[in-house]
Structure 1
Amino acid sequence: MRNTLVVLLFLFAAAFGTAQTEDDPVAWSHEVSKISDTEYELIFTGIILKDWHVYSQYTADGGSLPSELTYDKAGEHYELIGATTESKTTIEFSDVFEVDETFFSDIAVFTQKIKLLQPDVDRIDVNLFYQVCKEVCFTKEYDFNISLSGATVVLEQKEVDVASKSLSDAMVLDLKNKELLTNGVEGGSNKGSGLWTIFVLGFLGGLIALLTPCVFPMIPLTVSFFTKQSKTKSKGIANAVLYGFFIVVIYFLLSLPFHLFDSIDSQILNTIATNIWLNVFFFLIFVFFAFSFFGYYELTLPSSWANKMDTASTKAGGVIGIFFMAVTLAIVSFSCTGPILGGLLGSTALAEGDVATNLSAGMLGFGVALALPFALFALFPAWLNSLPKSGGWMTTVKVVLGFLELALAFKFLSNADLVGDWGFLKREIFVGIWIVIFILMALYLFGIIRFPHDDPKKKLPLARFIGGLLSVVFAIYLTLGVVNVVNLKLFGFLPPDFYTIAKKENDCPLGINCFKDFEAGVAYAKQENKPILLDFTGWACVNCRKMEENVWSEPDVFPLINEDYVLISLYVDDRKKLPKELQFDFEYDSGKVKTIETIGQKWGTFQTLNFNAASQPFYVLLSPDMEVLNTAIQYVDKDTYKNWLEEGLVHYNELSN
């Protein structure tokens, strides 16, 4: 019945649809279906103008904005039964954002069951926040004011005081030539954090895991088992390949729960990049992993699990038995693979795009690398003779991984320090900690310091000596960077160069004279008669740091920013409270009121309100009179960024003349 109603609504809108326009391309309505005296089904239907799209609640982070339904007084007047379901959606890869986007075409239907907690409740208020796109994207809100009995709903308008209205009005820019922004945002997510790169990183992690003492000795034993126990050579090869296939499947399946979390709340995993306490938690976890690799304790799953899997593989035999053998390998090798998988999770959390999808790609790569030797050595058993013997070198691999885990741990602590504005892990201190870590790693590789599981002292192998030298070279490079002899470039992992103990003329990237207040920056641009480079950034934004390190610092880009533009950098994750007199209630066109209390809330709302964007980095070129000078741009290479800046200057000079 409900599907029939939806189709009728769609046909009616297609024939007589006057509610939609190019400026407002979705016509919304709602329906209430009574299930029992206390349970109801709320149905929200949007008829979408042809060629426009509304995005799903669960579209990947890093792309267009997801729809979000907010149920007022849920948990107080009524409770939600399950998650809000959706009608049919389409998934397509976005070349702009480099993520798979999920959206509705023609019609969008959201359905939510509720159960009343107070029997006299008749009014349900639901706010829908959504983005609708064609060539241009609009960020919209719609309020559903629902009477369960069908009575007329009388709306109560929340009063916004005069001071809030004044501050709200100042948030809205009178942009000229705004259609230039609708030509599409150049750039997008960093290609280095694309799925193939995450897959390769996972594959490398799997190769490293192969060299650990939990996995390496298993390779010849397992291959020999399959080739010798099988009646024919082809059967042995098939079993070994199947064993490898199940290893890949098992590690891929380990990522599926993260998709479940992401479907419950599309932001739950991506908040890791800016949530203070999650970053602190990850710091502690990585330190814990590091010391397990140093040999002070072992991370193991209950031995009963491995025994049960081993027994199951023996009893079952055949394909099922081989599957349980693969599960047994995953369990017994956990003390070595667990910390590596933890590092993989941390790396995907720092990367751009949907965290759960990134993790699946990484786990798939990890599983393929771990499985590959079992299949290859079954096909070419003579290669087993060329494998190095198990020994102390595998302990060395574990300890080196421990040092790398420890270095990565401080990246998470740095994120918490930056976002929380604690001020204790300044750039020099962060780099100094890394210098100490890599010097200690060099001393270990040279045999000067030792850990619990190390073998008795022997002649230093050449590989350890070379590894120690590389660690020393890297420590020297970091030291030269601290004293400003070289320009440190570490893929955006370091805190911003202005976040420093040393006294700086300003706290802006690369020492550029920048403004962190929009109004002050515009006033200066008018005074100097210069165009504006508007930089929406974040303290914990890795790609923002990469742009500053690798693009802004280039000799043919830096002078353009420093001399020809006025830089305004707005940090959307800044948790510092605004002064009381500058905190205000912002009222959207829909009547919804949002309280702006922090600097980040102000600039995040400012970005969405004026530029229909919510990702960073996000760059806009403006004249002091709010003329848009070029398309918006995100993470791009140096030449593209340089050309973009120069085109903006040409346009600005044309306006001036």
Structure 2
Amino acid sequence: MKKILFSLIVSFLAFAAYAQIQEPVKFKTELKNVSATEVEIVFTASIEQGWHVYSTDLGDGGPISATFNTDKLTGAQLDGKLRPVGKEIASFDKLFEMDVRYFEHTAQFVQKLKLTGGDYQVTGYLEYGACNDENCLPPTQVEFSFSGKAEGTSASVLAETPAEKVDTAAAPAVIGSADGPTSVVVSDNDLWSPVIDELNALGETTSQEDMSWLYIFITGFVGGLLALFTPCVWPIIPMTVSFFLKRSKDKKKGIRDAWTYGASIVVIYVTLGLAITAIFGANALNALSTNAIFNIFFCLMLVVFAASFFGAFEITLPSKWSNAVDSKAEATTGLLSIFLMAFTLSLVSFSCTGPIIGFLLVQVSTTGNVIAPAVGMLGFAIALALPFTLFALFPSWLKSMPKSGGWMNVIKVTLGFLELAFALKFLSVADLAYGWRILDRETFLALWIVLFALLGFYLLGKIKFPHDDDDTKVSVPRFFLALASLAFAVYMVPGLWGAPLKAVSAFAPPMQTQDFNLYNNEVHAKFDDYDAGMKYAREHGKPVMLDFTGYGCVNCRKMELAVWTDMKVADLINNDYVLITLYVDNKTRLPEPVKVMENGTERTLRTVGDKWSYLQRVKFGANAQPFYVLIDNEGKPLNKSYSYDEDIDKYVDFLQTGLDNYKKK
């Protein structure tokens, strides 16, 4: 028992030390005989949920493509390129402005070889890139070595087909020890010494992904509250609650019926959310978020919803549906009767709730989370059901309930403006995918400025729609909403000249589409070499910010555009730190490959990117990007590490805390 307990403790400590090392992809490699003169090397990957592995030949300036690389090739020649096999997902990446292809759950790559006869040997590695919604792995290598003997065509015949470049450099010396974490590394100074324990002791930065379910729930809840204050729902509340309280002489039973009614509403809408996922599947819904055709469809759908809210027409379900359900409710008793009443409410109120539900489902379904639609609908349904149960518990509140009136139509029209604004977001994705360039950043911002200015004027009573009252009085809440809308429109004006506009960076097209840009507040690294940067920091007595990044890291670019452009963040990085940016996918070859023993596994460092990825793993115990760590000029951590989170205040606190700790030292 003691041995088992000791083993568990050791395993836990080992896990804690390397908790940031992620291995979401596992490859199996095998050699298959195709014929007497042909073989195939097959790489089969198992990919964790939420991650994806990029395919081959994606082109320059994008994510890391899967490539086949040889260190030694004798008695055989490459026959064609590395071939992806399986279900590829193709989408347009807004940040890289290019089409990308990737695999989820499983992937397979096949490289065919022609045997030239006699003994053959092939040694090398498959290199691939993998990302999820938050992080990207550095270029990762799957090493292989196969040998055998075969009868085949003579080498002189096959020599006409040029082979890929083969690295025949002499085998390098092995660095490190197989007994545990590597302590001797690629550099001969103590700046490479591991600080994993010290970094873990400082804690971890909570990622914004941890808040995704809560965010989706709150989004749905807000949508439900907005639906409450529409002409299709608000007038029904007092009628329904009074019905339950008068239905039975037993007050407790009336309250119980009202609770059942509210619970039925929740069940109906959550079932709708689950049905959406069941019909399409989480992966299909995620793919829709970058599919140009569906984004055009979403755009047109929101425009139709907006027109409905403006009063052009009403979107209603066939009246025979609601009549049939209503008559069924009257003919039954008990819980079924109450459930059918709730279902009738869902059908009757569809003209107001439909556009809100449609918009909500489009937004949350494209997160790729398998239960996102259900979570969103849960929030929506709870908000919608809440007043029915609360007013049943406290009937006296009904007297103070605001009466129906023109203010409900104001909410509908306001929602119409918002849906038009989001319609442009979906159109922007399609515009980028097809390269139309009709909705560049300044065009998008100009349209949003006009929309929110018109919304402000509407709230001030300067614009009228068909269902609006003639009453020209503007209430205090309406005035403040108008003020906020007009202020937001003014806020976006500097964006026409290139201001970053953090509040809309997630919606507007990328800065690269801006034709006229006067903004020049950018952060640039002083060094892209760790040892050179640390030497400079020592000479000038300054702390260091290490930025482990990648040319193909989407979220690294998001952080740089959304966070580093903030004035306070840029000032701290540029003036108080020595910024060292280390690209883990830098393909520049090292003078010679270096073999290292890392936790009992032999690895070969071939490129500069391999070197920086190795530094991140052995010194900080992490292997995903973006990864930011603050250290003093002796290589010791000053604060907990930071990953992908676009919260600017949190990032400023991260930088300021590190600076304060450095000054204390």
Report TM bin, short chain: 0.5 to 0.7
Alpha-carbon separation, structure 1, partners of 2:210 and 2:380: 18
- 1:512 alignment partner, one of 523, 526, 532: 523
Q: CA deviation at 1:299?
A: 2.1
- In the superposition, relative to structure 1, how do residues 297 and 501 fare at CA in structure 2: closer, same or farther (>3 Å)? same
Question: Counterpart in 2 of 1:291?
Answer: 307
Aligned counterparts of 2:470 and 2:252: Cα–Cα separation in 1: 44
Secondary structure (helix, strand or coil) at the match of 1:451 reads coil
Q: Distance in 2 between matches of 1:486 and 1:475?
A: 15
Q: In structure 2, what is the equivalent of residue 594 of structure 1?
A: none
C-alpha displacement of 1:217: 1.1
1:303 matched to 2:319? The reply is yes
* Closer, same or farther: CA 486–614 of 1 in aligned 2, 3 Å: closer
**Could you tell me which of 444, 457, 462 is aligned with 1:443?**
457
Question: Displacement, 1:460?
Answer: 3.9
Contact in 1 for aligned 2:325/2:340 (Cα 8 Å): yes
Q: How far apart are residue 318 of structure 1 and its match?
A: 1.1
- Within the alignment, does 1:479 sit opposite 2:493 as a pair? yes
CA RMSD of aligned residues (A): 6.0
Evaluate the alpha carbon distance shift between residue 181 and residue 649 of structure 1 in structure 2; reply closer, same or farther with a 3 A threshold: same
- 1:241 pairs, out of 259, 279, 294, with 259
The answer (yes or no) to whether the contact 2:499–2:519 under 8 Å persists in 1 is: no
Is 1:642 the counterpart of 2:655? The answer is yes
Counterpart residue number, 1:313 = 329
CA contact (8 A) 1:310 1:325 kept: yes
Deviations 1:596-640 (A, max 9, x none): xxxxxxx9xx999998999875557899xx999998631262245
Per-residue deviation, 1:312: 2.2
CA contact (8 A) 2:22 2:624 kept: no
1:553 aligns with 2:566: yes
Residue 469 of structure 1 aligns with which residue? 483
Which deviates more, 449-458 or 631-640?
Answer: 631-640
Q: Secondary structure at the match of 1:304?
A: helix
Question: Which of residues 199, 207, 220 is equivalent to 2:217?
Answer: 199
Structure 1 pair 504–198 and aligned structure 2 pair: CA distance change class (3 A): same
2:344 corresponding residue in structure 1: 328
Report the alpha carbon displacement of residue 252 of structure 1 after superposing the two structures with TM: 1.2
Amino acid at match of 1:464: R
Of 351, 375, 383, the residue aligned with 1:369 is: 383
Quickly say closer, same or farther: Cα 1:296–1:474, change in 2 above 3 A.
same
Amino acid at match of 2:571: F
Which residue in 2 is equivalent to 1:269? 285
Answer yes or no: is the 8 Å Cα contact 1:491–1:546 preserved in 2. Answer: no
Taking the aligned partners of 2:26 and 2:140, their CA distance within structure 1 comes to 12
1:179 Cα deviation from its structure 2 partner: 6.4
Partner of 2:205: 187
Q: Which of 164, 170, 174 is 1:161 aligned to? A: 164
Q: Select which of 248, 268, 289 maps to 1:250.
A: 268
TM-aligned CA deviation for residue 248 of structure 1: 0.9
Residues 648 and 228 from structure 1, CA distance in 2 versus in 1: closer, same or farther, beyond 3 angstroms?
closer
Check whether the contact 1:414–1:495 (CA below 8 A) recurs between aligned residues. Answer: yes
Q: Alpha carbons of 1:159 and 1:622: their partners in 2 closer, same or farther (altered >3 Å)? A: farther
Deviation at 1:402, TM superposition (A): 0.8
Distance in 1 (alpha carbons) for counterparts of 2:397 and 2:529: 68
CA apart distance, 1:401? 0.6
Q: Which amino acid aligns with 1:297?
A: F
Q: Does 1:219 align with 2:237?
A: yes
Deviations 1:50-98 (A, max 9, x none): xxxx987546899xxxxxxxx98779xxxxxxxxxxxxxxxxxxxxxxx
Cα deviation for residue 561 of structure 1 reads: 4.6
Q: Where does structure 1 lack aligned partners over 5 or more consecutive residues?
A: 1-21, 31-45, 47-53, 63-70, 76-109, 112-127, 132-136, 144-151, 167-172, 573-602
**TM-superposed deviation, 1:472:** 1.9
Query: Is 1:412 aligned with 2:411?
Result: no
Q: Is 2:277–2:373's contact at 8 Å kept on the other side of the alignment?
A: no
Q: TM-score normalized by structure 1? A: 0.59
The 3 A distance-change label for structure 1 pair 212 and 564 is same
Q: What is the Cα deviation at residue 459 of structure 1?
A: 3.7
Mapped to 2, the partners of 1:297 and 1:74 lie a distance apart of: 46
Q: Which ranges of structure 2 fall in alignment gaps of 5 or more residues? A: 1-17, 30-43, 54-82, 88-104, 107-127, 132-136, 153-160, 170-184, 538-543, 586-608
The one-letter code matched in structure 2 to 1:227 is L
The 2-side partners of 1:568 and 1:277 are apart by: 38
Give, in angstroms, the shift of residue 29 of structure 1: 9.6
1:341-352 matches, cutoff 5 A: 341-348=357-364
Partner of 1:68: none
Contact 1:438/1:471, CA 8 A, preserved across alignment: yes
Q: Identity of counterpart residues, as a percentage? A: 36
Mapped contact 1:129–1:141 kept (Cα < 8 A): no
Q: Measure, in 2, the Cα distance between the counterparts of 1:416 and 1:323.
A: 41
Report the Cα distance in structure 1 between the residues aligned to 2:291 and 2:238, rounded to whole angstroms: 45
- TM-score normalised according to structure 2 size: 0.58
Paired with 1:539 and 1:73, the residues of 2 have a C-alpha distance of 22
The alpha-carbon deviation at position 374 of structure 1 amounts to 0.7
- Shift of the 512–498 alpha-carbon distance from structure 1 to 2, 3 Å rule, reads farther
Contact 1:201–1:365 (CA<8 Å) still a contact in 2? Answer: yes
Going from structure 1 to structure 2, the CA distance change for 1:345 and 1:563 (only over 3 Å counts) comes to farther
CA contact (8 A) 2:285 2:366 kept: no
1:319 and 1:559 mapped to 2: Cα distance? 62
Question: 1:223, 1:240 within 8 Å by CA — same for their partners in 2?
Answer: yes
Once the two structures are overlaid, the 10-residue window that deviates more, 307-316 or 322-331, is: 307-316
Q: How does 1:526-545 map to 2 (within 5 A)?
A: 534=547, 536=549, 545=558
Are the structure 2 counterparts of residues 220 and 260 from structure 1 closer, same or farther at C-alpha, using a change threshold of 3 Å? same
Cα distance, 1:533 vs structure 2: 5.3
Distance 1:546 1:649 in 2: 24
Q: Deviations over 1:400-442 (max 9, x none)?
A: 0111111222233344555666554343332222110111112
Larger Rg computed on CA atoms: 2
The structure whose RCO (Cα within 8 Å, separation 6+) is larger is: 2
> Which residue, out of 220, 226, 245, partners 1:208?
226
Could you tell me how far apart the structure 1 residues matched to 2:517 and 2:535 are?
Answer: 26
The CA deviation at 1:320 is: 0.8
Deviating more after overlay: 182-191 vs 551-560: 182-191
* Other-structure match for 1:381: 395
Number of residue-to-residue matches in the alignment: 503
Q: What secondary structure, in the 3-state scheme, does the structure 2 residue paired with 1:356 have? A: coil
Distance in 1 of aligned mates of 2:478 and 2:406: 11
Residue pair 2:302, 2:419 contacting (<8 A) in 1 also = yes
- The CA distance in 2 between the partners of 1:422 and 1:274, in whole Å, is 16
